[in-house]
Chain A
Amino acid sequence: MNAEQPLVALRGIVKEFPGVRANDGVDFELEAGEIHALLGENGAGKTTLMNVLSGLLRPDAGTIEILGDDSPVRSPRAAIDRGIGMVHQHFRLVDRFTVAENVTLGWHTPKAILRPGPLEREIARLSETYGMPVQADRPVWHLSVGEQQRVEILKNLYRGARVLILDEPTAVLTPQESLGLFESLRRMAEEGRGVVFISHKLDEVMAVADRITVLRRGRNVATVAKAKTTQGELARMMIGQDLPQAAAPGEREAGAPVLRLEAVEAADDRGLPALGGIELEVRAGEILGLAGVAGNGQLALAEVVVGLRSLSGGRVLFEGQDVSRWSIPRRIAAGIGYCPENRLRQGVAPALSIAENLIAKSYRSAPVAGRFFLNRRGARRAAEELAKRFDIRGADLDAPVASLSGGNVQKVVLAREISADPRLLIAAQPTRGLDVGAAEATRRLLIEQRNAGRAVLVISEDLDELVRISDRVAVMYEGRIMGTFSAHEVDEEEIGLLMAGRAA
C-alpha cells in the first residue's frame, strides 16, 4: 500500500433529495492516522456525505475511493467489509440484547448457539485498549447513553473498521465524557485508523481535529489544518458571514415566583421513576436553564408542568395555586405556554397549513372565532400578523407546515405560544436542529420574554447556550436537581460533574 494514498477519497459527490441538493460536488479526503472534522451548519450536507460513504445512500454522481479501490459502495454491509464504520446520531442497537449480542449481531451470526465467552473477552480487550469501559454481558437498555455510544464504537472496531465516522457524537455526552471520547479517538488515530468527526460546534472541533473540512449548503468551503486556523475563521466559513451578535440577557431583578415544584415525583412511560422529588422555582422575569444529559428527566419535568404527565407525588404550584390535577386546557388558559422538544410531532400538525397551526390555540375565541364557527377573515388576519411579527419566511400561509425549514417551524410554535401571552413559557430544546441564525433568533425571543416579565424555563443539552442566556442554571441527573447556580458564578467544570451525577 502506498503511504501517500489516502484511506478514503470522495470526489465530486452529488446527492439530490426531492427539492434539495444535499451534496453538490463535494470532495473529501481522509488520511490514515488523522482525525478529520466535518464542520457545517445543520443542513450543510455533512451527514448525507457520510451516509454516502457508509453505503446507506447512493450518490447521484461522483466516485468513492477506499484504499485506492473506486468500485461503488452498494450497501452498508459492503462498506463495513471495506473497513468503513459509522456511528449514527441515533444509535442502531437492540435494547433487549446484551452488549456482546449487539456487537456480533449481523456480523458473525453464530451457527446455533452464541458462546458469549470469547466474544466478551474480545470486547473487554478492545474496551481496555481504547479506554472505553463497558460491561459486555449487560443488556443495552441498562446502559447510559454515553455507554451505548461506546458500544456502537466498539461494534465498529470489532468489525475491523479502519475508518470510523461519528455523527455529532458529543450531543449526548457531558463535557467530561466528551473529553474521554476525544482521548479514545486519538488512540485510534495513532494506530493508523482514520476518524471522521461530524460537528457544528467550533470549540470541540478545535479541540479534537487535525484537519477540518467546512461544508456550506452542500458544497466545500475549505479544508484547513487546525494549526493554521482560528474559531473565528471557521465560523465565517461555516455560515458565510460573521457570527451573529450573541444574545445576552443583561442584568435584571427577578420578580415573584411563578412556578414552584414541591417534592414532585413522576414515572416515565415504562413506569420507572423519572422524577424523584424535584424542588424547583421559576420567577417572573428570569430564565431558568435546566441542564443535563439527555434522558435524565428534563422532559418529564416539562410534561408534568404542562399537564401531559401525571404526578405520583408532590405538587406543582402555578402562581400560588396547586395545578397538579388541572387539565391541559385549563393550564393553558391559566397562562402556561409550551414549546415541545419534538416540534414536528407535538408542536405542530405538519400536514395542516401554517395558518391553521398558528391559530391552534387561539381558535376558541374572538377575533379568530365566534361562538360556533371560525371567523375566516379574523383567523387569516391573526395568522398574517403573527407571520409578520415573528418573521416566518418562505410562507404561503396555506402551505403545510411540513414545507417549512426547522427554524421557521420553531417560529410558528413560538409565535403561537408567545401570542397567547403566557405567564410561564417552557421551551424544551428550543434550538436543537436549527442553523446558527435561527438558533440565535430563538434565543433572542426567549430573552425578550424574560424582559417582558414572563417566567421562562429553558431545557437544553447545550451547556454553553444555557449559561449564556439564563439567569440561573439548574442541573438535573437521574430525575433529581443536583444543584442550582446563578449564571455569573457558574463553573462549567462543576456543572459537568453534576451532570454526570457526581457531587461537586
Chain B
Amino acid sequence: MTSVRRSLQSFAIQLLAVAVGLVLSGLVLAAIGVSPYDGISSLLRGAFGSEFALTQTALKAIPLALTGLAVAVCLRMRLWNIGAEGQFHSGAIGATWAALTFSTHSAFVLLPLMVGAAMVAGAVWALIAAIPRALWGVNEIITTLLLNYVAILLVAYLVTGPWRSSESFNFPVTDIFSSAALLPRLGGSLLHVGVFFPLVAAAVLLVLLHRSKWGFEVRMIGASPEAARVAGISTARNIIVIMLVAGALAGVAGMVEVSMSFGRLRQGISPGYGYMAILIAALAGASLLGTLAVAFLFAGFVVGGFALQALGVPQSFVLLVQGLILFCALAGSTLTGARLTPWIPGRFRGRRRLETLQKEEPSIP
C-alpha cells in the first residue's frame, strides 16, 4: 500500500515540476510578447499534434535513443560514457567510407556494410578510452569527452580534404550517396526502417542483460564492484566489452543520420545528440526502455521547438524554454527519486539504479 501511495505521490510531484516548468516558460514567452498559451500549445502540437509532427519526432528520436542507450548501458556498470557524440561521428565516418567505397553495390549489400562499418568505427572510438580505463583506471569521463572533439575535427578534415566532393563547388561535403545507401522507407511515409534500430537494440540488450552470463557479470559489477571482484568477475574485460557495445550503438546512430538526414557526410551532422543522450539516460535512471521513452519525449521537444520558431520566437528563446522545462523535470525527479518513466512496468525499470550509482561511493577499481 505505502509503495503505491509513494509512487502516486512521486508521480504527482513530477507533474507539478513539469507544470512549474511550463509556467516559467509561459512567463518567458509573455516577456517577449508571445501569448504563453499559443506558445506552449504550438510547442506540444508541433511535437505530437499531427501525423507529420509524430513522424518528425520519431525520426528525431532515432539518434537520441541510440546514443541514449550507449550512455545507459555504460551507466549500468557505473561508467560515464560522455563520448557518445564522438562515437556517433566516428560511426558516421565508417558508414560514409562504406557508402563511398562500395557505391556500386545494391542496397542489400551496401546497407549491411554501412551499418557494420559504423558499428566497428563507433566501437573502435570507444575502445580508445576503454583500454586505459580498464587497465590503468584512467577516468573515462575525461577521455571520452576529449575524444569527441577529435572525432568532430576528423569529420571536418575528411570533408574538407580527402573526401571532398569534386562536384560540390568547393563546399566541404562528400559526394552524395547512391540511392542504395538510403534506408528503405516504410510504406509511403517519411518513416524508414531506422526507427526499428533502437527498438531492436533495446530488446536484444534487455535479453542479454537479464539472461546471459555476460549480462549477469555486468549487473553484478553494477550492483557491487567489490563483491564482483571477490567473486572472480573480471571488471577490466567487462569494461572493454560494454564500451564496445556502447560505441557500436552510437555508431549506428551516425550511420542513420548520414544516410537519411543528409545523404552525405558533412560538418554539423549532430546538434549535440551525444550530449542530450547523457541527460536522457540519466533521466531514465539507466533503464533501457525508459531511455527509449525519454528519447521520444526529448525528440518531441526538439521538433516542437521548430514550431515555436515558426511563431516568431527567436531560436535562443526556444532553447531557453526547452531548458526551463527540462530543468524542472530534472529537479522533480531528483526530489522524488523517481524517473520520468512512471509507466514502465517495474521489472524492466532501472530500479533506483541511478541513485545507487550516485550514492554508493565505491567505483570500479
Contact = CB atoms under 8 A, between A and B. Distances in A.
Given A332-B231, A351-B351, A372-B212, 16 more contacts: A308-B230, A327-B234, A328-B229, A329-B233, A329-B234, A331-B232, A345-B226, A345-B227, A345-B362, A348-B224, A351-B356, A352-B224, A360-B227, A361-B232, A373-B211, A373-B213
30 contacts: A306-B230, A308-B229, A327-B234, A328-B229, A328-B230, A329-B234, A331-B232, A332-B232, A333-B232, A345-B226, A346-B227, A346-B230, A347-B227, A348-B224, A348-B227, A349-B223, A351-B351, A352-B219, A352-B220, A352-B223, A356-B220, A360-B220, A363-B216, A364-B213, A372-B212, A373-B213, A374-B211, A374-B212, A374-B213, A374-B216
Interface string A279-309: 0000000000000000000000000001010
B228 interface: yes
B226 A346 contact: yes
Contacts of A352: 219-220, 223-224
Contacts of A407: none
Nearest to A339: B230
Contact of B220 (A328, A333, A349): A349
B230 A340 contact: yes
Contacts, number: 68
B42 to A, nearest CB: 44
A360 B230 CA distance: 10
Interface of B: 211-214, 216, 219-220, 223-224, 226-234, 351-352, 356, 362
A350 B230 CA distance: 14
Interface in A230-265: none
A306 B234 CA distance: 14
B234 to A, nearest CB: 7
A138 interface: no
A338 B212 CA distance: 25
Contact of B224 (A329, A345, A374, A376): A345
Contacts of A364: 213
Nearest to A379: B216
B228 A349 contact: yes
A369 interface: yes
Contact of B216 (A347, A348, A356): A356
Contacts of A340: 230
B211 A360 contact: no
B76 to A, nearest CB: 12
Contacts of A348: 224, 227
A328 B213 contact: no
Given A328-B230, A329-B234, A349 B213 contact: no
Nearest to A370: B213
Contacts of A349: 220, 223-224, 227-228
A337 B286 CA distance: 34
A350 B229 contact: no
A363 B224 contact: no
| Prevailing SS type, chain B contact patch | helix
Between A349, A363, A372, the greatest number of chain B beta carbons within 10 A of the residue's beta carbon is seen for A349
Interface in A353-368: 356, 360-361, 363-364
Nearest to B356: A351
Contacts of A347: 227, 230
Interface residues of A, number: 28
A352 B214 CA distance: 16
Nearest to A306: B230
Contact of A373 (B212, B220, B226): B212
Contacts of B229: 308, 328, 346
A363 B232 CA distance: 11
Which 5 pairs of residues, A with B, have the shortest CB-CB distance? A349-B224, A349-B223, A329-B232, A332-B232, A360-B231
A383 to B, nearest CB: 13
Interface in A199-243: none
Nearest to B232: A329
Contacts of A356: 216, 219-220
Between B219, B223, B230, the greatest number of chain A beta carbons within 10 A of the residue's beta carbon is seen for B230
A37 B223 CA distance: 40
Nearest to B214: A372
Given A350-B224, A363-B213, A374-B213, A328 B219 contact: no
Contacts of A373: 211-213
Contacts of B224: 345, 348-352
Nearest to A371: B213
Interface string A21-56: 000000000000000000000000000000000000
A404 to B, nearest CB: 15
Nearest to B217: A363
Contacts of A333: 232
Between A356, A360, A361, A363, the greatest number of chain B beta carbons within 10 A of the residue's beta carbon is seen for A360
Nearest to B215: A374
A61 to B, nearest CB: 21
Contacts of B213: 363-364, 369, 372-374
A373 B356 CA distance: 26
Between B213, B231, B356, the greatest number of chain A beta carbons within 10 A of the residue's beta carbon is seen for B231
A345 B227 CA distance: 6
Nearest to A328: B232
Contacts of B352: 351
Contacts of B230: 306, 308, 328, 338, 340, 346-347
A269 to B, nearest CB: 11
A340 B351 CA distance: 27
Contacts of B362: 345
B141 to A, nearest CB: 23
A344 to B, nearest CB: 9
A183 to B, nearest CB: 40
A146 B223 CA distance: 35
A328 B351 CA distance: 30
